[in-house]
Chain A
Amino acid sequence: MTSVLQAQGLGKKYGKRWALRECTIDIPAGHVVGLVGPNGAGKTTLLKLASGQLEPTAGGITVLGGRPAGGPAQLAKVGFVAQDTPVYAGLAVAEHLRLGERLNPRWDAAFARERIARLGLVPTQRAGKLSGGQRAQLALTLGLAKRPELLILDEPVASLDPLARREFLQSLMEATVEHELSVVLSSHLVSDLERVCDFLIVLVDSRVQVAGETDKLLATHHRLIGPRRDPDRLPADQHVVSARHTDRQSTYVIRTDAPIHDPAWTVTQLSLEDLVLAYMDKHTAENRRVALEVQR
């Protein structure tokens, strides 16, 4: 299967701070990829690197086999809807479509017009007067009518109310199925992504914690609850994602491909949200330990 996005040791530094580091991922084509992580984790940086808005400080990235924003042909293959879905406030809705038509060789004018009409947007209305949801839909229409092979959306629903969120994601899904495109979208809320993504990347503190198809991730991650036990005494093929201990009980989130036979554990399935939270938790736990060591 071909890759839509490949990164090797990808890193981006702003001044002295790494916004993204040692990012090595390979996203196969035909997925709706959710990029999830807390605010400031580096999601926007990764997406901007993928769309060629930023140049990497370290490592390399190829998107659909080419250098991001390497030329008009590459730009035509990748759609990008930026955070807060910017549009030209002074231009009317129809003028945005005209802009897209003029600037994109593969523009699907009929689709764009039809979609705008279906959404109930008035072509003569200025984009500055649209609601947040309408603006996001307009930006999505521009991204879709361009007929890209990969559509990247950076926090597309962050500023939308729950209803507009659902509508936006719904229409994104319909378009994805219709046009057979790969999608990468980011959010800091797992609930936004849960219903639409079949591939997940968890990004915490500028590092990729885990990446993979959601089904596989859910099948290989388990929560174990049982009598208190040190992590050293777990089998070698069980990677601890997060651990919590009380005096008598331990709760682990582990990743393993093998079945769990130890009868001491109560094994439960994780929801996607639990899984993501476990990775965020692991990270904060490590930070806490580092902080304590420094204090000592």
Chain B
Amino acid sequence: MPTTSKKTLVYIVEDSLSSGALYSSQLEKAGYETKHFVDGYSALAAIKEIMPSVIIQDVCLPDISGLNVLQFVNRQKSPARVIIITSNSSIDVAVDAMRLGGFDFIEKPFSRERMITSVQDAVKQINLESIESKKVKTEVLSVPEISFIGESLAMKTVFRLLDSALRSKASVFVTGESGTGKEVCAQYLHSFSARKEAPLIAINCAAIPGELFESEFFGHMKGSFSGAVADRKGAVEAANGGTLFLDEICEMDLNLQAKLLRFLQTGTFTRVGSTNVIQSDVRVVCATNRHPAAEVGEGRFREDLYYRLNVIPIQLPPLRERGDDILLLANSILTDKNQENEKGFGQFSSDVQSMFMKYDWPGNIRELQNIIENMVVIHSGDEITLDMLPENFAQSGLNITFQNTFSHHRVNNHSNNHSNSHSNYNSNSHLNNDAHTEEGDHRYEIKDIIPMWLVEKNAIEKAIEICDGNIPLAAAHLGVSASTIYRKIKSW
């Protein structure tokens, strides 16, 4: 990163003379060298001549958009880290800016601390990347074993977004059905970023009781509440320099959402029972299997927090929409499970492959993993065949394609009683696919359609019953998390 002196060079592109001068003074006091430009073209000319380490870039300029400057910077060989500064009304533009590779964005007016923390983070990232690039290539290649498998168009889009997010500190909001790999996204974003040496702290917002959440999040001081027997760091503090993964973010209490928003705006927080303000530099990745915009509409999720977190939205596709990725994943999982269990399965039979491609995979990759692990653990041989499929896989095969395929190979061998015992599922599965499917003498009509939530409720209740009331076990077989089940039960 070229600089003209030993001090780190920061450009400030801000059309207000007095505001820019104030930022310059604050940064110079903190040890940086600065240059202030009041329009975009002057900044571009200076950037061409000397690329600074960091640019504090206003979006609204009198001549060109700050986004044009950002795009220009990111096309250069050693681009500066660009911190976008914006007023509330241009938050959408800021979101676009982050997608174009902005490092951070700060809403105006902002505090001195917020600006300096962001510049420090940017410089830290540059230094780390510089150290990393000097290491031998083999080390880089062997870093984490976290990798995504997929060649579908939907996954290629996901990979592109993830890779562009690696260089940035911007918040990432991962959405997708349960079991699609949201946590893997967070691990990937952490492990391949300059923050990888610092911790990745994951919090499941649905699993922590409301009254303990603030303490878990921000930490507490000894004696601040009954049970606080010692000072304790919270997740935000523990993740300093690293990544904070907030799973099931939509389950967070509204009161805490306000506190999280404040932390995201200022980069500071206080432990429960303390007045000391602590700074923490974290990159936030959050995830939900709900539709966050709908949650905002329903008033369960703060709109301002949503926009703050949804800087880089990543939508993970369900497994059923990933085409040939299903078999790629299945083969990869089979290899892993073979190694773990010292088995020698070489492949799936063509029938199993065909069934995998037709099945709906409501539990997504987690369900696929569970089913393959089940077969590998229980059976031995060279090939995974239809008769090795777990019984619960057959029972939860809720869609017609699966039922048809399965009936050719297996159901004929079962007793009529067995078929009848799952009539509820069978009728649902037919109806989900065709409202006018004929079976025997009965012709299904619109009135026979069972609402999706009821189908889901039946499936969950049946699973819990089969597992003798053991919800975590039922959840495992259904391929979802126990907290999802608890939440569903609460909503009925």
Do A and B bind?
no
* B contact set with A: CB distance below 8 Å: none
